[in-house]
Amino acid sequence: MNINRNIKRSLRAAIALAGAAAFSNAAVAAPDSDTFINPDWANTAWYAGATLGQSRATIDEQRIRSSLAANGATVTGFSADGRDRAYSVFIGRQLNRYFAIEASYFDLGKFNFNASTSGGGVFNGEAGFKGGSIELVGQYPLTERFSVLGRAGVQDSRATTHFQGNRLNAVTDPNPSRSRAGAKFGLGLEYKLSEALAVRAEVSRFRVDDAVGNRGDVDLMSLGLSYKFGRPAARAAVAPAEMVPVLTAPAPAPIVAAAVTPPPPPQPVSEKVSFAAEALFDFDRAVVKPDGRAALDVFVDKLKGMSTEVMIAVGHTDSVGSDTYNQRLSLRRADAVKAYLVSRGLDAARLYTEGKGESMPAASNASAEGRARNRRVIIEVVGTRTAQP
pTM of the model: 0.55
Q: What is the pLDDT of residues 251-266, one digit of tens each?
A: 666 665 555 666 666 6
Is the pLDDT at 225 greater than 90, yes or no? yes
If DSSP states are collapsed to H, E and C, what string results for the chain? CCCCCCHHHHHHHHHHHHHHHHHHHHHHCCCCCCCCCCHHHHCCCEEEEEEEEEEECCCCHHHHHHHHHHCCCCEEEEEEECEEEEEEEEEEEECCCCEEEEEEEEEEEEEEEEEEECCCEEEEEEEEEEEEEEEEEEEEECCCCEEEEEEEEEEEEEEEEEEEECCHHHCCCCCCEEEEEEEEEEEEEEEECCCCEEEEEEEEEEEEECCCCCEEEEEEEEEEEEEECCCCCCCCCCCCCCCCCCCCCCCCCCCCCCCCCCCCCCEEEEEEEEEEHHHHECCCCCCECHHHHHHHHHHHHHCCCEEEEEEEEEEECCCCCCHHHHHHHHHHHHHHHHHHHHHCCCCHHHEEEEECCCCCCCCCCCCHHHHHHHCEEEEEEEEEECCCC
- CA–CA dist 299, 280 (Å, integer): 13
N-to-C CA span, the chain: 92
Query: With bands split at pLDDT 50, 70 and 90, how would you rate the model's confidence at 23?
Result: very low
Question: Which carries the bigger pLDDT value, residue 327 or residue 173?
Answer: 327
Query: With bands split at pLDDT 50, 70 and 90, how would you rate the model's confidence at 144?
Result: confident
Give the pLDDT confidence score for residue 276 in this predicted structure.
Answer: 79
Question: Which carries the bigger pLDDT value, residue 145 or residue 28?
Answer: 145
Question: Which carries the bigger pLDDT value, residue 245 or residue 115?
Answer: 115
Give the pLDDT confidence score for residue 158 in this predicted structure.
Answer: 92
Is the pLDDT at 19 greater than 60, yes or no? no
CB 228 within 8 A of CB 54: no
Give the pLDDT confidence score for residue 105 in this predicted structure.
Answer: 97
Give the pLDDT confidence score for residue 65 in this predicted structure.
Answer: 82
Give the pLDDT confidence score for residue 28 in this predicted structure.
Answer: 41
Q: What is the pLDDT of residues 25-77, one digit of tens each?
A: 444 444 444 467 778 888 999 999 999 999 998 777 887 788 778 877 888 88
Of 158, 173, 87, 85, which is closest to residue 125 (Cα–Cα)? 173
- Catalogue all structural domains in the chain, each as residue range(s) with its CATH number: 7-228 (2.40.160.20), 267-385 (3.30.1330.60)
Residue 322 corresponds to which amino acid?
Answer: S
Q: What is the pLDDT of residues 123-139, one digit of tens each?
A: 898 989 999 999 999 99
Question: Which carries the bigger pLDDT value, residue 144 or residue 267?
Answer: 144
Say which range, 2-6, 80-84, 232-236, 322-326, has the weakest mean pLDDT.
Answer: 2-6
Give the pLDDT confidence score for residue 94 in this predicted structure.
Answer: 95
Question: Which carries the bigger pLDDT value, residue 71 or residue 301?
Answer: 301
Rg of the chain taking only CA atoms, in angstroms: 33
